[in-house]
Each structure stands twice: as C-alpha cells, then as structure tokens.
Amino acid sequence: MRPCVSVLLPVHRAADYIGAALRSLWCQTLPDFECMVIANDSDAATLAVIRQLHDPRLRLIQFDKANLVHALNAGLDAARADILVRMDADDICRPDRLAKQLRHLQSNPHISVSATRVQFQAEDGQSPGFARYVEWQNSLLSADQIYSNRFVESPVAHPSVALRTAALKDLGGYRSGPFPEDYDLWLRLLEQGHRIEKLPESLLIWRDHPRRLSRSDPRIRAEAFHRLKVPYLLRALPPAVRELRRPLYVWGAGRVSRRFAPLLEDASVGLRIAAFLDVDPRKIGRRLYERPVYSFEKLRMNNGDQVTKPFVLSYVPGAYARNLICEYLAELGWQANVDYLLCA
C-alpha cells in the first residue's frame, strides 16, 4: 500500500542536526508517510545517527558523491506517494506539519504547492539579512501575493513545501545549473500556471548556522538569482515591451539597479531601458548608462494607453519601499503583472 506522503530529506554531513530532524518526523500526527533520506557523501557520524533512529518508514538511499540536484531527483524517482514533502537535515517539523499540508492540498485541488510560514532560528546570531528575508516571505500567503512577488526573491522556503509529485515530474524534476534549484523550480511552476499557497502557521523551524549550504554555495549569490530571473522576466513582459514598441522604465537608480538592470540589455535578452526613475533629487536629472533619470512623478504625465505608457520594472529593494511603490502605482490605476513587475 502506498503512503500518503513521501518526505524527501537530503543529507550531507549533519551529525549534529539530523537526529532532531528525524525525531520531529517520527512524532508527526500523520503516521502514514515514508521518509527518504538521501545520504550524499555522508560521513560515518551522520550515518550512525540515522541508523540509531531507524524507523520502518525510513528509506535510506546512499551516494558516494553527487550534487544536491542529483540527490533530490533520486528521491523524486523513488517516491511512492502522490504528495512530496521537502525537508532539510538541519530543520525541525512541527508535529502537525504533514497532516496540515496534506489536508491543504487535498482540500484545494487547484493548487500544486502548499508552503508554510517558517520560524527562523539563527545559531550564531549573525543573520539579520536572512531574518529580514524570512519576515518578507512569511508575509506572502495567497497565490496572488506569491505570483506578484516571484521576481523579488524566492517567495517560499524550500524545506517548508509539500507539492504534488506529478507536477514536479511533469516539469522534469529539479534542474542543475549555476542557480538555486528551488527558485528555478518556483519560476517554472508559476510560469506554467501552477498555483502556490502558503499556510499562515509556522510549521517548520528553519535553522541557520555557519555550515549551512546557502552561506557558501555560489549558486545562492545575488547575481545567480538575477541571472536566473531574466529569461522568465522576459517572457512575462507584454509583447509590446519585448518588441520595443512600449517603453521600459526601471524604477531605481541605486546600487541594485546599477548592478543588475544591465542584464536586461544583454544581447541574448534584447530589451532596451528607456529611462530610470528615482525619488532622490541628487539622482534626478542625471544619466545612468546613458539613459535619463526622471522623477517618479513622470509616470503621471505618461499614464496613457497600454502602448504609449511605460512598463515599469522596480529594482528598489526593501519591503517598505516596495509597498510605497505599489501604493503609488495603484493610485495611478496601474496593475501588477500588467503595467509593472517587482524585481528586487
């Protein structure tokens, strides 16, 4: 008989953490699941902890050496359930996590991914930037919120998701490349029309520590995220913008736009930035990459039809600034995904 849920848990060398992760699974209120631990070049100490905590629901898959994507896809191939739950070796599930996410997907056949809020726990107290990210992604609950913020940053925490196994297999599983495999998956799912929702409860303790992969992996750096976004962003733009018939404005003449907006004009992308917008009087009236920097109020004067008015890409970081920009554009009658996209 097939289990209701397959938990996919890759582990490298995490003897200090894997025990707590597994114990949190054995305490789940939903008993009918399998836990596939993909031991990827794991050391003896890690394997010893896994074997000490053996449970009939545990399936151990071992690799001598494989990258994370290979390990994830091996788990996907071995999964027997229709619902796949992700978890990392250094995280802890709340006892009712599996039951609530299974119920969420069963009750909402129109969604493909159920995520949850996460409780952030920094072991060394040195992660203020990551804490702000967690606060932001915890604020995105509805499918529309997640979709509209898909180009800002990864809108859900990968270890918090439960997703339909068929949806992931239909996309060919996880992809390898110089980019974060989870963010790539969300962009592919959303582009194909799949919906992602997030439960308002924190059902996962997301632990941060000095050995965490995202602290050292070059695939997780800001430039990798922005390069990954560009082809998806290009396809999300209205045809008139892609065909250079509708002007493209970048909101923000600061550090982020100076660093990443030029990716839009790469020869393989083919976009052309007509102008930059800003609120800083010291920047307004100057030029950036040979393009004028206008006051954001210029949008009031260019609020015409869908061909003549600019399409705006906002590269202004920070939740407070993003909210102000969205409020201003809503006041003009502009719509997210139709007249503008948030990109930072």
- Report yes or no on 145 lying in a domain: yes
Q: Of 189, 218, 247, at which residue does a domain stop?
A: 218
Q: Give the domain CATH number at 21.
A: 3.90.550.10
Q: Give the domain CATH number at 250.
A: 3.40.50.720
Measured CA to CA, the distance from residue 325 to residue 213 in angstroms comes to: 33
Residues 211 and 336 in one domain: no
Using 50 as the pLDDT threshold, list the residues of the chain that sit under it: none
* Structural domain span for residue 252: 237-342
Q: What is the per-residue pLDDT across 191-240, written as a single tens digit (0 to 9) for each?
A: 999 999 999 999 999 988 666 655 556 656 889 999 999 999 999 999 99
What does the block give as tokens for 97? 């996590």
Q: What is the per-residue pLDDT across 81-123, written as a single tens digit (0 to 9) for each?
A: 999 999 999 999 999 999 999 999 999 999 999 999 999 988 7
Residues 199 and 152 in one domain: yes
Determine the length of the chain. Answer: 344
Biggest CA–CA distance in the chain, Å, is 69
Residues 245 and 164 in one domain: no
State the pLDDT at residue 122: 82
Contact criterion met (CB below 8 Å) for 142 and 225: no
pTM over 0.75: yes
Contacts of 282 (CB under 8 A, 6+ apart): none
Q: To 10 degrees, the CA torsion angle through 232, 233, 239, 241? A: -160
Give how far Cα 185 sits from Cα of 23, 66, 73, 189, 312, Å: 28, 19, 12, 6, 25
State the pLDDT at residue 205: 97
- Report yes or no on 225 lying in a domain: no
